[in-house]
A = this chain, B = another copy of it.
């Protein structure tokens, strides 16, 4: 049977993430991956979580194994609020929280609650493919606004809002953005709120990397500056505890979350109980900020190692980048070429995986002369070796 006639329009032309496809090719264990977005597994608190999981299932099997409530286990909601309170992203007067099976689910379901077919969403260009693809499944129109060294262009944003009716929300990763690694300035955050208010659109602030600053000064979350209730905030435990546990959350005005909760209910009913209980116990027994501090320190070292080797091996003056102050990504541009694909392919031949910029483009498939590097996942030795090989390819092809 052929099934094309049965498919909804939303999936007819959809392809899976090229990064995920690349993961499949990367089954080759010799490949050094700078392609994914994996946090450093060498610091995972396996022993601690082993004891915690064992104890929960031994002493309270019913709680861990029976159905839970859709909005999340109450103490897990408190943990999410505790994290959000660190960046003033929770307004106790009007906000609610829903625990999600990863922040991505929160972003998907927020889009589902807000978007009719043909609605418009303003996004950073480039941006996180997982969110862009989630939005695309609701048949909306994505409007890209350039990312500058201090975040989304506010001239670009104003122009886009002025010229477009039907914008429902602005999606932004303001801190250590994926893929560019850049952080939006405080001035721009205020300006974004002002523009959102003037043009009456919502803001979806995605902040999975905010805790991972290893240099410079923290910038307030957009949510913390929001006086109107215009910001929906997505938080994640993936980069501060474990991505495989799939724990994230959405914080927003309770009237919005009431709708999102219905969508969560018909999606996965609730987030698995055991992982929620494990996170609660971990945060009760240990100081998660100490654990995050270790990660931050490691990422600072790994980022410095990557940049040191880029300076050593990349052809002088032919690759531009902005040095990140945190997060897990570094974004490179090669102004002398139009399309990075031959570089990406030549790297794979040398057993190094990087992601071409085209994957993060709003206009999918357009050639890009940029690529994204991840420095959280590989070891220091492998980062040095991979950047050396990448440098050889760039020297040959640029």
Bound CA–CA A115/B11 (angstroms): 10
Of the candidates B23, B112, B253, which one forms a contact with A137 in the assembled complex, judged by CB atoms under 8 Å apart? B112
Residues of B within 8 A of A15 (CB): 262
Of the candidates B39, B108, B270, which one forms a contact with A266 in the assembled complex, judged by CB atoms under 8 Å apart? B108
A263 at the interface (CB under 8 A from B): yes
A265 contacts B130, CB within 8 Å? yes
Residues of B within 8 A of A65 (CB): 41, 44, 46, 49, 242-245
A272 contacts B269, CB within 8 Å? no
Residues of B within 8 A of A63 (CB): 244
A229 contacts B1, CB within 8 Å? yes
Of the candidates B8, B68, B272, which one forms a contact with A113 in the assembled complex, judged by CB atoms under 8 Å apart? B8
A219 at the interface (CB under 8 A from B): no
Nearest CB in chain B: distance from A236 CB, A: 11
Number of interface residues of A (CB under 8 A): 93
A51 at the interface (CB under 8 A from B): yes
Bound CA–CA A104/B104 (angstroms): 18
Of the candidates B38, B259, B271, which one forms a contact with A66 in the assembled complex, judged by CB atoms under 8 Å apart? B38
A30 at the interface (CB under 8 A from B): no
Known contacts A133-B262, A272-B244, A273-B244, A50 near B46 by CB under 8 Å: no
A320 at the interface (CB under 8 A from B): no
B244 contacts A108, CB within 8 Å? no
A3 at the interface (CB under 8 A from B): yes
B113 contacts A11, CB within 8 Å? yes
Bound CA–CA A24/B265 (angstroms): 14
B272 contacts A20, CB within 8 Å? no
| In the complex, residue of chain B having the shortest beta-carbon distance to the beta carbon of A52 | B57
A-B contacts, 14 of them at CB < 8 A, read A3-B253, A6-B202, A7-B114, A20-B265, A24-B69, A46-B61, A49-B57, A49-B65, A67-B243, A101-B101, A130-B265, A137-B263, A272-B272, A275-B275
